[in-house]
Protein backbone atom coordinates (compact mmCIF):
# COMPACT_ATOMS: atom_id res chain seq x y z
CA UNK A 1 0.00 0.00 0.00
CA UNK A 2 1.27 3.39 -0.93
CA UNK A 3 0.41 6.09 1.55
CA UNK A 4 -1.31 8.89 -0.31
CA UNK A 5 1.02 11.41 1.28
CA UNK A 6 4.28 9.71 0.54
CA UNK A 7 3.74 9.38 -3.19
CA UNK A 8 4.53 12.37 -5.36
CA UNK A 9 4.60 12.95 -9.07
CA UNK A 10 7.96 13.71 -10.60
CA UNK A 11 8.52 16.51 -13.04
CA UNK A 12 9.18 13.94 -15.81
CA UNK A 13 5.87 12.27 -15.12
CA UNK A 14 4.06 15.60 -15.15
CA UNK A 15 5.78 16.56 -18.40
CA UNK A 16 4.69 13.28 -19.94
CA UNK A 17 1.19 14.02 -18.71
CA UNK A 18 1.18 17.47 -20.28
CA UNK A 19 2.48 16.04 -23.55
CA UNK A 20 -0.32 13.49 -23.54
CA UNK A 21 2.11 10.60 -23.45
CA UNK A 22 0.62 8.74 -20.53
CA UNK A 23 -1.68 5.75 -20.77
CA UNK A 24 -4.98 5.98 -18.99
CA UNK A 25 -3.97 4.49 -15.66
CA UNK A 26 -0.96 6.74 -14.98
CA UNK A 27 -2.92 9.65 -16.40
CA UNK A 28 -5.72 9.00 -13.94
CA UNK A 29 -3.19 8.65 -11.14
CA UNK A 30 -1.62 11.99 -11.89
CA UNK A 31 -4.98 13.72 -12.19
CA UNK A 32 -6.35 12.31 -8.97
CA UNK A 33 -3.19 13.27 -7.11
CA UNK A 34 -2.30 16.70 -8.42
CA UNK A 35 -5.59 18.35 -7.56
CA UNK A 36 -5.17 17.36 -3.93
CA UNK A 37 -1.41 17.77 -3.39
CA UNK A 38 0.08 21.21 -2.81
CA UNK A 39 3.56 20.05 -3.66
CA UNK A 40 2.72 18.49 -7.03
CA UNK A 41 0.43 21.35 -7.87
CA UNK A 42 3.42 23.61 -7.43
CA UNK A 43 5.33 21.51 -9.93
CA UNK A 44 2.66 22.07 -12.58
CA UNK A 45 2.92 25.85 -12.35
CA UNK A 46 6.07 26.16 -14.49
CA UNK A 47 4.54 23.80 -17.07
CA UNK A 48 1.66 26.12 -17.83
CA UNK A 49 1.93 29.04 -20.23
CA UNK A 50 2.47 32.07 -18.04
CA UNK A 51 1.32 34.69 -20.52
CA UNK A 52 -1.84 32.77 -21.18
CA UNK A 53 -2.57 32.42 -17.46
CA UNK A 54 -2.04 36.14 -17.04
CA UNK A 55 -4.34 36.90 -19.94
CA UNK A 56 -7.06 34.67 -18.52
CA UNK A 57 -6.71 36.27 -15.14
CA UNK A 58 -7.15 39.72 -16.63
CA UNK A 59 -10.36 38.55 -18.31
CA UNK A 60 -11.59 37.09 -15.04
CA UNK A 61 -10.96 40.33 -13.18
CA UNK A 62 -12.81 42.25 -15.88
CA UNK A 63 -15.80 39.99 -15.58
CA UNK A 64 -15.64 40.00 -11.80
CA UNK A 65 -15.62 43.80 -11.82
CA UNK A 66 -19.01 43.73 -13.52
CA UNK A 67 -20.22 41.35 -10.86
CA UNK A 68 -19.83 43.60 -7.87
CA UNK A 69 -23.19 43.54 -6.26
CA UNK A 70 -25.41 46.43 -5.33
CA UNK A 71 -27.93 46.14 -2.48
CA UNK A 72 -30.80 45.25 -4.83
CA UNK A 73 -28.82 42.34 -6.24
CA UNK A 74 -27.92 41.04 -2.81
CA UNK A 75 -31.54 41.25 -1.80
CA UNK A 76 -32.81 39.49 -4.93
CA UNK A 77 -30.28 36.71 -4.72
CA UNK A 78 -31.02 36.19 -1.05
CA UNK A 79 -34.64 35.67 -2.08
CA UNK A 80 -33.45 32.83 -4.27
CA UNK A 81 -33.85 34.58 -7.64
CA UNK A 82 -31.62 32.81 -10.20
CA UNK A 83 -28.26 34.50 -10.66
CA UNK A 84 -28.63 35.33 -14.35
CA UNK A 85 -31.98 36.98 -13.74
CA UNK A 86 -30.55 39.00 -10.86
CA UNK A 87 -27.76 40.23 -13.10
CA UNK A 88 -29.94 41.25 -15.98
CA UNK A 89 -32.61 42.84 -13.87
CA UNK A 90 -30.39 44.81 -11.59
CA UNK A 91 -27.90 46.17 -14.07
CA UNK A 92 -30.60 47.92 -16.04
CA UNK A 93 -31.52 50.88 -13.87
CA UNK A 94 -31.94 52.95 -17.01
CA UNK A 95 -35.15 51.26 -17.94
CA UNK A 96 -36.22 50.26 -14.46
CA UNK A 97 -36.31 53.71 -12.89
CA UNK A 98 -38.83 55.45 -15.15
CA UNK A 99 -41.48 52.81 -14.79
CA UNK A 100 -41.10 52.24 -11.09
CA UNK A 101 -41.11 55.98 -10.73
CA UNK A 102 -44.19 56.38 -12.91
CA UNK A 103 -46.19 53.78 -11.07
CA UNK A 104 -45.16 55.03 -7.64
CA UNK A 105 -45.83 58.68 -8.44
CA UNK A 106 -49.27 57.82 -9.78
CA UNK A 107 -50.09 55.89 -6.62
CA UNK A 108 -48.69 58.63 -4.37
CA UNK A 109 -50.73 61.30 -6.14
CA UNK A 110 -53.78 59.15 -5.63
CA UNK A 111 -52.92 58.78 -1.97
CA UNK A 112 -52.44 62.53 -1.56
CA UNK A 113 -55.75 63.25 -3.28
CA UNK A 114 -57.44 60.51 -1.34
CA UNK A 115 -59.54 62.82 0.79
CA UNK A 116 -60.62 65.03 -2.08
CA UNK A 117 -61.47 62.14 -4.33
CA UNK A 118 -65.09 61.92 -3.16
CA UNK A 119 -66.46 61.08 -6.61
CA UNK A 120 -63.86 58.43 -7.43
CA UNK A 121 -62.64 60.22 -10.59
CA UNK A 122 -59.02 60.49 -9.56
CA UNK A 123 -58.98 56.81 -8.74
CA UNK A 124 -60.58 56.03 -12.07
CA UNK A 125 -57.99 58.04 -13.96
CA UNK A 126 -55.24 56.39 -11.96
CA UNK A 127 -56.56 52.90 -12.58
CA UNK A 128 -56.76 53.64 -16.28
CA UNK A 129 -53.27 55.06 -16.61
CA UNK A 130 -51.30 52.76 -14.30
CA UNK A 131 -51.69 49.58 -16.43
CA UNK A 132 -50.27 51.45 -19.42
CA UNK A 133 -46.92 51.99 -17.71
CA UNK A 134 -45.85 48.31 -17.65
CA UNK A 135 -47.11 48.00 -21.23
CA UNK A 136 -44.85 50.87 -22.18
CA UNK A 137 -42.01 49.21 -20.31
CA UNK A 138 -42.47 45.93 -22.13
CA UNK A 139 -42.48 47.71 -25.46
CA UNK A 140 -39.34 49.64 -24.60
CA UNK A 141 -37.49 46.55 -23.43
CA UNK A 142 -38.44 44.67 -26.54
CA UNK A 143 -37.50 47.38 -29.00
CA UNK A 144 -34.39 48.77 -27.38
CA UNK A 145 -31.76 48.78 -30.11
CA UNK A 146 -28.77 49.69 -28.01
CA UNK A 147 -28.86 47.46 -25.01
CA UNK A 148 -26.64 48.83 -22.23
CA UNK A 149 -26.45 45.26 -21.04
CA UNK A 150 -24.87 43.89 -24.14
CA UNK A 151 -21.51 43.48 -22.45
CA UNK A 152 -23.14 41.61 -19.63
CA UNK A 153 -25.60 39.50 -21.58
CA UNK A 154 -22.65 38.33 -23.59
CA UNK A 155 -21.56 36.32 -20.62
CA UNK A 156 -25.07 35.30 -19.65
CA UNK A 157 -26.87 34.39 -22.85
CA UNK A 158 -30.54 34.55 -22.15
CA UNK A 159 -33.64 34.50 -24.28
CA UNK A 160 -34.97 37.97 -24.88
CA UNK A 161 -38.36 36.87 -23.59
CA UNK A 162 -37.03 36.07 -20.13
CA UNK A 163 -35.15 39.35 -20.17
CA UNK A 164 -38.30 41.32 -20.86
CA UNK A 165 -40.33 39.34 -18.34
CA UNK A 166 -37.69 39.75 -15.64
CA UNK A 167 -37.64 43.47 -16.15
CA UNK A 168 -41.41 43.67 -15.94
CA UNK A 169 -41.53 41.66 -12.77
CA UNK A 170 -38.98 43.80 -11.00
CA UNK A 171 -41.31 46.75 -11.53
CA UNK A 172 -44.61 45.02 -11.04
CA UNK A 173 -43.76 43.22 -7.83
CA UNK A 174 -42.81 46.32 -5.77
CA UNK A 175 -45.64 48.31 -7.34
CA UNK A 176 -48.09 45.56 -6.42
CA UNK A 177 -46.77 45.57 -2.87
CA UNK A 178 -47.17 49.32 -2.74
CA UNK A 179 -50.75 49.10 -4.01
CA UNK A 180 -51.59 46.61 -1.32
CA UNK A 181 -50.08 48.82 1.38
CA UNK A 182 -52.11 51.72 0.04
CA UNK A 183 -55.25 49.62 0.13
CA UNK A 184 -54.61 48.88 3.77
CA UNK A 185 -53.73 52.49 4.67
CA UNK A 186 -56.81 54.04 3.11
CA UNK A 187 -59.53 51.64 4.18
CA UNK A 188 -62.29 53.67 2.55
CA UNK A 189 -60.85 52.66 -0.82
CA UNK A 190 -60.99 49.00 -0.07
CA UNK A 191 -59.05 47.09 -2.70
CA UNK A 192 -59.46 49.74 -5.36
CA UNK A 193 -55.76 50.76 -5.53
CA UNK A 194 -54.90 47.17 -6.50
CA UNK A 195 -57.41 46.93 -9.33
CA UNK A 196 -54.88 48.10 -11.92
CA UNK A 197 -52.72 45.00 -11.50
CA UNK A 198 -54.92 42.60 -13.44
CA UNK A 199 -55.21 44.88 -16.47
CA UNK A 200 -51.47 45.61 -16.24
CA UNK A 201 -50.63 41.91 -16.35
CA UNK A 202 -53.11 41.26 -19.10
CA UNK A 203 -51.90 44.12 -21.30
CA UNK A 204 -48.21 43.26 -20.82
CA UNK A 205 -48.62 39.55 -21.37
CA UNK A 206 -51.01 40.16 -24.23
CA UNK A 207 -48.57 42.45 -26.00
CA UNK A 208 -45.82 39.85 -25.65
CA UNK A 209 -48.04 37.08 -26.99
CA UNK A 210 -49.27 39.12 -29.95
CA UNK A 211 -45.78 40.41 -30.68
CA UNK A 212 -44.85 36.87 -31.75
CA UNK A 213 -46.95 37.61 -34.85
CA UNK A 214 -46.91 41.41 -35.24
CA UNK A 215 -44.43 44.20 -34.48
CA UNK A 216 -44.71 44.97 -30.79
CA UNK A 217 -45.13 48.73 -31.24
CA UNK A 218 -48.29 48.19 -33.29
CA UNK A 219 -49.56 45.62 -30.82
CA UNK A 220 -48.94 47.95 -27.89
CA UNK A 221 -50.67 50.89 -29.55
CA UNK A 222 -53.67 48.72 -30.44
CA UNK A 223 -54.01 47.29 -26.94
CA UNK A 224 -53.56 50.69 -25.30
CA UNK A 225 -56.23 52.17 -27.58
CA UNK A 226 -58.68 49.40 -26.75
CA UNK A 227 -58.00 49.89 -23.05
CA UNK A 228 -58.32 53.68 -23.05
CA UNK A 229 -61.35 53.54 -25.34
CA UNK A 230 -63.12 51.08 -23.08
CA UNK A 231 -62.30 53.17 -20.06
CA UNK A 232 -63.59 56.39 -21.61
CA UNK A 233 -66.81 54.79 -22.85
CA UNK A 234 -67.48 53.31 -19.41
CA UNK A 235 -66.76 56.66 -17.78
CA UNK A 236 -69.25 58.63 -19.85
CA UNK A 237 -72.48 58.93 -17.95
CA UNK A 238 -71.19 57.12 -14.89
CA UNK A 239 -72.86 58.16 -11.63
CA UNK A 240 -70.18 60.01 -9.56
CA UNK A 241 -69.85 57.97 -6.36
CA UNK A 242 -69.40 54.64 -8.11
CA UNK A 243 -67.34 55.56 -11.11
CA UNK A 244 -64.83 52.79 -10.69
CA UNK A 245 -67.27 49.91 -10.86
CA UNK A 246 -68.75 51.29 -14.08
CA UNK A 247 -65.91 49.80 -16.09
CA UNK A 248 -66.32 46.09 -16.43
CA UNK A 249 -62.54 45.66 -16.11
CA UNK A 250 -62.71 46.83 -12.50
CA UNK A 251 -65.54 44.51 -11.47
CA UNK A 252 -64.76 41.07 -10.07
CA UNK A 253 -65.74 39.22 -13.24
CA UNK A 254 -63.68 41.57 -15.38
CA UNK A 255 -60.67 41.18 -13.09
CA UNK A 256 -60.93 37.41 -13.27
CA UNK A 257 -61.26 37.53 -17.04
CA UNK A 258 -58.20 39.79 -17.28
CA UNK A 259 -56.13 37.50 -15.07
CA UNK A 260 -57.20 34.49 -17.13
CA UNK A 261 -56.28 36.26 -20.34
CA UNK A 262 -52.89 37.17 -18.82
CA UNK A 263 -52.24 33.51 -18.06
CA UNK A 264 -53.25 32.42 -21.54
CA UNK A 265 -51.14 35.15 -23.12
CA UNK A 266 -48.14 34.23 -21.00
CA UNK A 267 -48.55 30.62 -22.08
CA UNK A 268 -48.75 31.62 -25.74
CA UNK A 269 -45.67 33.83 -25.42
CA UNK A 270 -43.72 31.05 -23.73
CA UNK A 271 -44.81 28.49 -26.34
CA UNK A 272 -43.77 30.77 -29.15
CA UNK A 273 -40.67 32.07 -27.41
CA UNK A 274 -38.56 30.94 -30.37
CA UNK A 275 -39.74 33.98 -32.25
CA UNK A 276 -37.94 36.19 -29.74
CA UNK A 277 -34.31 36.71 -30.49
CA UNK A 278 -31.64 35.24 -28.35
CA UNK A 279 -29.37 37.93 -27.01
CA UNK A 280 -25.88 36.65 -27.18
CA UNK A 281 -22.40 37.28 -28.39
CA UNK A 282 -22.01 38.61 -31.86
CA UNK A 283 -25.35 40.29 -32.30
CA UNK A 284 -24.15 43.82 -32.82
CA UNK A 285 -26.80 46.13 -34.15
Q: Which residues bind other proteins (CB under 8 A)?
A: 1-2, 7, 10, 12-13, 16-18, 20-32, 34-36, 38, 41, 44-45, 47-49, 52-61, 63-64, 67-68, 83, 155
* Rounded least distance, CB 191 to other proteins, Å: 41
Query: Shortest approach of other proteins to residue 90 CB, angstroms?
Result: 14
Q: Rounded to whole angstroms, how far apart are CA atoms 40 and 56? A: 22
Q: Angle at the Cα of 231 (from 132 to 117), degrees rounded to 5?
A: 90
- Cα angle 107-246-239, degrees, rounded to a multiple of 5: 100
Question: Which residue's CB is nearer to other proteins, number 50 or number 145?
Answer: 50
Q: Which of 230, 228, 246, 223 is nearest to 121 (CA)?
A: 246
Pick between residue 10 and residue 143 the one whose CB is nearest to other proteins. Answer: 10
Minimum Å gap between C-beta 141 and other proteins is: 25
Distance CA 143, CA 238 (A): 38
Q: What is the 3-state secondary structure (H, E, C) of 175-220?
A: HHHHHHHHHHHCHHHCCHHHCCHHHHHHHHHHHHHHCCCCCHHHHH
Which residue lies nearer to other proteins by CB, 13 or 194?
13
Closer CB to other proteins, 58 or 217, in the complex? 58
Nearer to other proteins, 86 or 205 (CB): 86
Closest contact distance (angstroms) between CB of 4 and other proteins is: 11
Q: Residue 57 Cβ, how far from other proteins at the closest point, in Å? A: 6
Amino acid sequence: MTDARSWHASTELLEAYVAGDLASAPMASVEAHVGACDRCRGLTTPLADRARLQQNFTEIIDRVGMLRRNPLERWLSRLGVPERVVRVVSVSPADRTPWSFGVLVALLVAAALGGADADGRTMYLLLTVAPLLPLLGVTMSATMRSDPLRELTRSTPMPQLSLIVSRCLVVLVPAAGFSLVLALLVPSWGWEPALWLAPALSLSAGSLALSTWLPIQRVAIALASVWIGGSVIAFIGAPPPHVVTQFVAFRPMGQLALLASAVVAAWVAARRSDSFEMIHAGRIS
